[in-house]
Amino acid sequence: MKKILIIEDEEMIRINIKELLEVEEFEVWEAENGEEGIKLAQVHQPDLILCDVMMPKLNGYAVLQQLRCDPLTATIPFIFMTALADRSNIRKGMELGADDYISKPCTATELLKAITVRLEKHSIVKQHYQSQVQKVQEQLKQLIYIDNITNLPNRLGLREQFENVKQSLNPDQYRLIPIISVNIDRFRRINESWGYDASSCLLKAVGERMIQQLRNRAKVSHLNEEKFVIILEAITDQNTAFKLAEMLLKNLSLPFFIYDKEVFLTFSIGIAFYPRDGDEIDQLLDRSQTAVSQSQQKGGNRYEYYQASWETKDHDQIALETDLRRALDRNELQLYYQPKVDLKTGKIMGAEALIRWFESKRGFVSPAVFIPIAEESGLIEPIGEWVLRTACKQTKAWHKLGLNAMQIAVNLSGRQFNLPHIRQKILEILLAEGLPPTCLELELTESFLVEHEEASIQKLNHLKALGLQIAIDDFGTGYSSLSYLQQFPFDVLKLDRCFIQNLDQNSKNQVIVEAVIKMAHQLNLQVVAEGVETQEELDLLQQYHCDIIQGYLFSRPLPAEEFLALFEKGQHLKSQP
């Protein structure tokens, strides 16, 4: 049953229209003024709105303007009913986004015809849009779940395969699912010596040989560079997996032929078992990789299986955590700022704040090393607050120097986002530093948000109410569902650098990037491309009408004073034609 909202201040007209529409089996909502009509439209999201023009307080034009500015109501068909039917009034309504005009008084036939025509047109447009969304979503799913070098499932494809095998188990029988990680020894040296193309051919050949050996007994995936993973069918005896690993090592020891050259490889294999070593695929992958590390430490070209006794923290990690606790007090943490460039103007429009740690004894410590420790230990909360406060303070300082439009992007970890008073803390920092909320963009990863979907949507809406921007970071490395883009109140989509790197050499990624940018724009999202390093990558992004880029092509992350100098120098890219 189609829903129609009537916004009309004259009660008799409202009642007559309602009775007419209910006879025609429409579900009808009614409002006697503009404010009430807007609220009903937001709550019930009708299929069509009939609205008077001349109403007290909030007239029909103002109602339409507010509805068109709200993503929830922006596309609802809207018909004016008015005695003001001269051209200037009609033009004004159409400019604001009205779909049709009905002159008062009108007959029941005229009213019903206008409603029917408008609903049919909207249905056609909506069906076309949904088919386009479905088409792109299917295309994205196919491309995102497959590794573009080997044409094997990637990490996301592996996750799906594991869940399928897991669900096929009989709960009344004890079975093991072996997760077998197969790493090429010293692959980085091969990659540097042979180059990208030859290394890609080699990876493909390795994958094909494993598939030929395993046939229908297992699923083979390629995670990245030297890492392959095999999910074996359920077994009762772990020795079955050990024998398979020995056969793999023997088979993979035979030469590979790349560009008519003979290449010999060695492999390190690590095995973990579901459910003995873990319930989730990420945990099992970590533990199979721990076994790979044990194999490599023993010289490689062998297999090891995971043992729980390996789980003790080593002394270096404990010492690192201790030093990290003192880093804030010792002023060892710094923020660097990577410029974000507007491709329409070619000029810097903002920056992403990136944390750096320069420890007194170790020197530079990579964020890839200390951030996981910070998250595990809970230190991410005080460190995250320091990052947010420092970034806001620096941005306000730039504003005072004349960089008035400068916007700062700050990563918000899942643990920070989950704090009960995060909204109040962000508001307190903004007020204390005097930074307008519109100049702050919070970046969150899609995986955390999707895992806590309902609570995340509510909390994001509360944060957006402050006036700041919300960005989905590293899009394409997690769930990457277009339905999530529609449900979550994002303003910005950040394309992960894995899609941008060597974009000009990868036709599949070109299809993905262009499709994502197109769809993001249809959802009124800005698109930021991360990790842009070559002119060829930039040219394609400009061709696809990407909005913003950041990467080493323009600038590496810089200390605050160097960032200011770069801005004042007026460095810019050639703007889009």
In this prediction, residue 565 carries a pLDDT of 93
pLDDT digits over 521-562, tens only?
999 999 999 999 999 999 999 999 999 999 999 999 999 999
Query: Which CATH number does the domain housing residue 52 bear?
Result: 3.40.50.2300
Residues 223 and 326 occupy one common structural domain:
no
Structure tokens at 452: 């806590």
Classified as helix, coil or strand, 86 is coil
Residue 415, in any domain of the structure: yes
Q: Is the pLDDT of residue 400 over 70?
A: yes
Note whether residue 197 is domain-resident: yes
Buried b (16+ CB within 10 A) or exposed e, 156-190: bbbbebbeebbeeeeeeeebbbbbbbbbbbebeeb
Q: Say how many domains are in the chain.
A: 3
How many C-beta neighbours within 10 Å does residue 276 have?
14
Return the pLDDT at 546.
96
Looking only at the bridges linking them, the beta strands covering 333-342 and 440-445 are unpaired
Last residue of a domain, one of 283, 311, 339: 311
- Give the residue among 508, 515, 518, 504 at the shortest CA–CA distance from 547: 518
Hey, what amino acid is at 97? G
Tell whether 379 and 470 lie within a shared domain.
Answer: yes
Helix (H) or strand (E) holding 508: helix 507-522
pLDDT of 387 reads 96
**Neighbouring C-beta atoms of residue 547, cutoff 10 Å:** 22
pLDDT confidence bin for 315, thresholds 50/70/90: low
How far apart CA 275 and CA 285 sit, in angstroms, is: 13
377 shares a domain with 296: no
Q: Has residue 313 got a pLDDT over 60? A: no
pLDDT of residue 477: 55
Whether 290 and 427 map to the same domain: the answer is no
Spatial distance between the Cα atoms of 200 and 205, rounded to a whole number of angstroms = 9
Distance CA 459, CA 187 (A): 44
Q: How far apart are CA 375 and CA 278, in angstroms?
A: 21
pLDDT at 71: 87
Asked whether residue 247 is domain-assigned, the answer is yes
Q: Does the pLDDT of residue 452 top 70, yes or no? A: no
497 in the same domain as 416: yes
pLDDT surpasses 60 at 479: no
What mean pLDDT is reported for the chain?
Answer: 89
The answer to whether residues 504 and 474 touch, using CB atoms and an 8 Å cutoff, is no
Judgement on whether residues 492 and 473 belong to the same structural domain of the protein: yes
Could you tell me if 214 and 328 lie in one domain?
no
125 occurs within a structural domain: yes
> 332 with 206, same domain?
no
Contact 482, 136 (CB under 8 A): yes
- Pick the range with the lowest mean pLDDT from 184-193, 310-319, 391-400, 503-512: 310-319
Select from 65, 67, 110, 58 the least CA-distant residue to 85: 110
Instruction: Read off the pLDDT of residues 61-120 as tens digits, 9 standing for 90 and up.
Output: 999 999 999 988 998 999 998 877 677 878 888 888 899 988 888 889 989 999 999 999
17 and 56 in a single domain? The answer is yes
147 within some domain? no
Residue for token pair 């989905």: 472
Q: How confident is the model at residue 312 (pLDDT cuts 50, 70, 90)?
A: low
Q: Is the pLDDT of residue 225 over 70?
A: yes
Element (H, E) at 262: strand 261-263
Is 323 within the bounds of a domain? yes
User: Is 198 inside a domain boundary?
Assistant: yes
User: Of 260, 257, 160, 245, whose CA–CA distance to 206 is shortest?
Assistant: 257
Q: Which two tokens stand for residue 335?
A: 């923020």
Shared domain check, 52 and 123: yes
Pick the last residue of a domain from 311, 342, 370.
Answer: 311
Boundary (domain end) residue, out of 274, 295, 311: 311
Q: What range does the domain containing 79 cover?
A: 3-136
Tokens of 230: 């095999």
The answer on 256 and 347 residing in a single domain is no
| H or E stretch covering 399 | helix 380-400
SS3 call for 571: coil
153 pLDDT more than 80: yes
CATH number for position 354: 3.20.20.450
284: which 2 tokens?
């099992």
Q: Span 135-144, mean pLDDT?
A: 76
pLDDT of 28 reads 94
pLDDT score at 167: 87
Task: Please name which of 401, 415, 420, 522 lies closest in space to residue 462, comparing C-alpha atoms.
Answer: 420
Query: Which CATH number covers residue 239?
Result: 3.30.70.270
The answer to whether residue 144 sits within a structural domain is no
* One domain, residues 304 and 396: no
